[in-house]
């Protein structure tokens, strides 16, 4: 178990968008042979969730939000790369599966999605992040192309949630709905919405989404 002081420092490095400090902690974790996934989920992720909360309450502005997200992206990439090159560690927790994730068309928010991608990759899954503002048709085409097992979509606006419904309808129309585990998440998204549109999983937050995806893949 990693010392709480390291986890707190990791979280604070994200909140303060301190790239140097964040990388310093990541390198320390690797040098000491500590568990990278633990510092991602209990350290950096805690920080980025706090950042999102500050932004929603108007205590953090968009440029700062983007800087924090960039630090999160860069530092988790360092740890994920270390995990992927450690074959023994990777095989011990790997769940076979390919996950495709995107923020729906008309929506440019992707912090939560980025966290999910980082944690999934740290758990040994193959993750394809299509980015932001992606049309449902394009998501389906990519899922077919890479033979994905899971399709996850994020919507941070009530006006863009409908795109998650579009995705479900396209999969049904093409007769390929049963090929995929579909996951929906985002601030305005609810378990009721997920059930209404026919999605398999509602992700309350990044960690919840990852846990449910891992369980669903194990059951397939």
pLDDT of residue 62: 79
Q: Considering the entire predicted model, what is its pTM?
A: 0.72
CATH number of 4-92: 1.10.1240.10
Average pLDDT per run of 10 along the chain, which is 220 residues long? 93 96 96 90 87 84 85 86 58 70 90 76 84 96 98 93 98 98 94 98 86 90
CATH number of 94-219: 3.40.50.280
pLDDT of residue 54: 87
pLDDT of residue 165: 98
pLDDT of residue 85: 59
- The domain locations on the chain are 4-92, 94-219
SS3 assignment for the chain: CCCHHHHHHHHHHHHCCCHHHHHHHHHHHHHCCCCHHHHHHHHHHHHHHHHHHHHHCCCCCHHHHHHHHHHHHHHHHHHHHHHHHCHHHHHHHCCCCEEEEEEECCCCCCHHHHHHHHHHHHCCCEEEECCCCECHHHHHHHHHHHCCCEEEEECCCCCCCHHHHHHHHHHHHCCCHHHCEEEEECCCCCHHHHHHHCCCEEECCHHHHHHHHHHHHHHC
pLDDT of residue 24: 97
pLDDT of residue 197: 98
């Amino acid at each position: 178990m990693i010392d709480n002081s390291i986890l707190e420092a990791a979280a604070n490095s994200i909140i303060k968008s301190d790239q140097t400090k964040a990388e310093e902690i990541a390198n320390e974790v690797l040098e000491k042979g500590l568990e990278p996934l633990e510092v991602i989920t209990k350290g950096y992720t805690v920080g980025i969730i706090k950042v999102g909360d500050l932004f929603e309450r108007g205590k953090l502005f968009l440029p700062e939000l983007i800087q924090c997200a960039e630090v999160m992206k860069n530092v988790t990439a360092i740890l994920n790369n270390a995990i992927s090159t450690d074959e023994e560690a990777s095989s011990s927790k790997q769940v076979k599966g390919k996950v495709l994730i995107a923020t729906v068309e008309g929506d440019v928010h992707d912090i939560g999605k980025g966290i999910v991608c980082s944690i999934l990759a740290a758990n040994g899954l193959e993750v394809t992040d299509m980015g932001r503002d992606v049309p449902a048709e394009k998501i389906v085409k990519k899922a077919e192309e890479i033979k994905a097992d899971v399709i996850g979509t994020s919507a941070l606006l009530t006006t863009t949630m409908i795109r998650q419904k579009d995705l479900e309808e396209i999969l049904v129309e093409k007769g390929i709905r049963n090929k995929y585990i579909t996951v929906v998440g985002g601030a305005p998204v609810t378990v009721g919405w997920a059930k209404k549109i026919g999605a398999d999983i509602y992700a309350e937050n990044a960690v919840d989404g990852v846990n449910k995806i891992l369980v669903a893949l194990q059951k397939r």
